[in-house]
Structure 1
Amino acid sequence: MPGLFSWFTAKFSPRTSVAAQPSPRLLNPTGRPGLTYEAAQQPSTLELEKHLFCWLLDAPPAALTREQDSGAQSILHTLEQRIHRQTLDELPRRPMTLPMLTRALSDEKTDRKELAEIILSDPALTDQLLHVANSPLFRTGDKPIESVDQAVFRLGLNGIRNVISAAVMRPMMAARNSREALFAQRVWRWGLTCAKAAELVSALREKDSSLYFMTGLLPALSYITLRRELQRICRSAPQPFEPSPSLTHQALSRFQWATAQVLANEWNLEPEYHARLMEAERPTPNQTHAPLNDGIIIGTREILRHAHQKNMAEEDVLKLVHIPPDQFVRIRRIILDSIEAGSKARA
């Protein structure tokens, strides 16, 4: 994949300082056909990003923009270099069964029994898969799913792909201690919501919805990875300290897409995953085929709205996503139902 690595080298050239780099956007809308690229880049998406980070970091807006001392740039530079060299200590390692699962799921000849056997060969994955399959986002019907074979049968091939993606990533995003519990919980909820929205949007456009679901989880996994790596760097400083909300916000917003690419590379994911991440980070003018962008915008708006946080007006969302209003209402209803069911399950 020469294109990927040439981009990687250019983006993290030693000659480029962290301070000089523009902050990559999380929400990169291109607007519906007929809108100019400049018109699509309106302040409402910047506001939505700000509201998201305030919620994730449980901090007021002023805390995210507070001026940093001179040591902050050194910390960010260290983090940048670790991403460039792919030497992040907190980078999640690829699950051992993932290559077998991806091959089996992409092979049309794979039957239900073979797929179930691969899953059952990993007891930890089996437990996670059954937990995820019975969650409000995936569960079908009133009866619980009690076995892997039953999950494969009831959810179907596309459904089980998404459950496997969530089951693989869920342990990596579980809180390690009480200090990161709230952040980890919110990032996981946000990631699942955006992934589900991207899946629904891609299905409307007759694209590989499972590809977009898993890709939609990678930004959330990059957030938990970046936060942990930043804490590790700060704690190993000559005078150890905990990173402030402002420093954490800068790290997440600057390196979210690059870290997602490193994760995809570390896990040897197929080139399509790298391409979808690149497409979302750097959409072209009047681009109309980026379900991940639309999914992140819709998912972010709905999770903030449900949490009673400031978000984005519906008319502004419809200006940015490439979805007819009636389909948007349907997607929004599905997402909201799953969020509400998940909240009741946690209560």
Structure 2
Amino acid sequence: MPGFFSWIADFFTKTKPSPPPATEARLFNSAKTITSGDTADNTQGLSVQLEENLFCWLLDTGPANLRAEHALPDKALQELEYRLSNNKMEELPRQPLTIPMLMKALSDESGGRQKLSQIILGDPALTDQILQVANSPYFRTGDHTIESVDQAIFVLGMDGIRNVIAAAVMRPMMTARNSREALFAQRAWRWGLTCARAAEFIAKLRGEDASGYFTVGLLPALSYITIRRELQQILRSQRGDGDPGIALIRDALTRFQWRTCQLIASEWNLPPKYHSYLMVAERPVPDQEQATLIDGMVIASREVLRHAHQRNMPEEDLEKIVHLTPEQTGRVRASLKAVLSEGARG
């Protein structure tokens, strides 16, 4: 697996390279060893189909439109590649001002809840976002409404409030700017939160960094809205038309989703281990121990599609591409099903 430093070296190239050939299933890069009776092509095909189903739902289209011909693909994607490689993304979400203070307070176990509460209350917009997220179906632990930051910290605990803060910080960045991107933004946010909770739940089962996996589980959804907006900017400058079209959006997301995640993590000065989690998901080694993010995103995507009554992966095929026992998979699915059902009722 190429190291993180080789990825950084590529990051500073000054030329505009041609975009790489489109590859399938770049989102779901399964690291599971092929079992008897299966073939690599069959396993890859399951991942490809799940990814295609997800894009159909996110972009509200049919499979044929994902691969339709589109105008100026090379020129637009070359410019997107150049901006990513040279840190010139105009739509890249900048680090929120309160993030460094919050991360320091969350990592300081001697600081206590009062210090954390003071930092949050110093930013009224963040306070409102945290209370909204804490009372959403993804975090609410009972029937009672959480009415204050102190109550949120007390009810959810430090691990729970870490995740609420991560989601609250990212939520405004995922809010639709206009009606044209409204459905995409809404669905991407639902998918991102579900991926984050799935990765968090699996990390807990494995005794891993649950809060870290929750945060990186949100980044693919944030990268999607970032890439789409950047592509719209590029097309407006190249041809005066900011509508990329379904197929071009899909190509851009498929090729650049993980690089954009890494760029956001760098821009926000997230810990090095977060970069490692993303790298493992992008370039997995067979049967590696850190398949948590991959497994969480696969199960979450399947559950989101199932809940939305979309084309989906058969349940019996899940075990072929995730590193969980059937019992563990069932527990994760049950948790996500409850969250999604509560969200629909809300």
TM-score, normalisation: structure 2: 0.94
Residue 56 of structure 1 is aligned with which of 58, 70, 73? 58
Q: What is the aligned partner in structure 2 of residue 43 from structure 1? A: 45
Is the contact between residue 10 and residue 85 of structure 2 (CA under 8 Å) also seen in structure 1? no
Q: How many residues align?
A: 343
Cα–Cα, structure 1 residues 131 and 209, in superposed 2: closer, same or farther, change >3 Å? Answer: same
Q: What is the aligned partner in structure 2 of residue 10 from structure 1? A: 10
Report deviation, 1:292: 0.2
Report deviation, 1:160: 0.5
Query: How far apart in 2 are the matches of 1:84 and 1:99?
Result: 25
Q: Which moved more, 1:32-41 or 1:169-178?
A: 32-41
- SS of the equivalent of 1:237 reads helix
Q: What is the aligned partner in structure 1 of residue 88 from structure 2? A: 87
Identity %, equivalent residues: 55
Is the contact between residue 30 and residue 37 of structure 1 (CA under 8 Å) also seen in structure 2? no
Q: What is the aligned partner in structure 2 of residue 117 from structure 1? A: 118
Show the 5 A alignment for 1:50-199: 50-69=52-71, 71-199=72-200
Is the contact between residue 222 and residue 260 of structure 1 (CA under 8 Å) also seen in structure 2? yes
Unaligned runs of 5+ in 1: none
Report deviation, 1:8: 3.4
Report deviation, 1:67: 1.9
Is the contact between residue 17 and residue 78 of structure 2 (CA under 8 Å) also seen in structure 1? no
Q: Over residues 45-87 of structure 1, what are the superposed CA-to-partner deviations in whole Å (9 max), with x where a residue is unaligned?
A: 1000000001101111111101233x21100000110011111
Q: What is the aligned partner in structure 1 of residue 284 from structure 2? A: 283
Q: Which amino acid in structure 2 is aligned with residue 326 of structure 1?
A: E
TM-align CA RMSD:
2.0
Is the contact between residue 195 and residue 217 of structure 2 (CA under 8 Å) also seen in structure 1? yes
Query: How far apart in 1 are the matches of 2:268 and 2:143?
Result: 35
Report deviation, 1:289: 2.5
Q: What is the aligned partner in structure 1 of residue 246 from structure 2? A: 245
Q: Over residues 112-164 of structure 1, what are the superposed CA-to-partner deviations in whole Å (9 max), with x where a residue is unaligned?
A: 11111111111111000000000011011111100000000000011001000
- SS of the equivalent of 1:236 reads helix
TM-score, normalisation: structure 1: 0.94
Cα–Cα, structure 1 residues 241 and 124, in superposed 2: closer, same or farther, change >3 Å? Answer: closer
Query: How far apart in 1 are the matches of 2:46 and 2:234?
Result: 33
1:223 matched to 2:224: yes
Query: How far apart in 2 are the matches of 1:12 and 1:129?
Result: 36
Cα–Cα, structure 1 residues 51 and 113, in superposed 2: closer, same or farther, change >3 Å? Answer: same
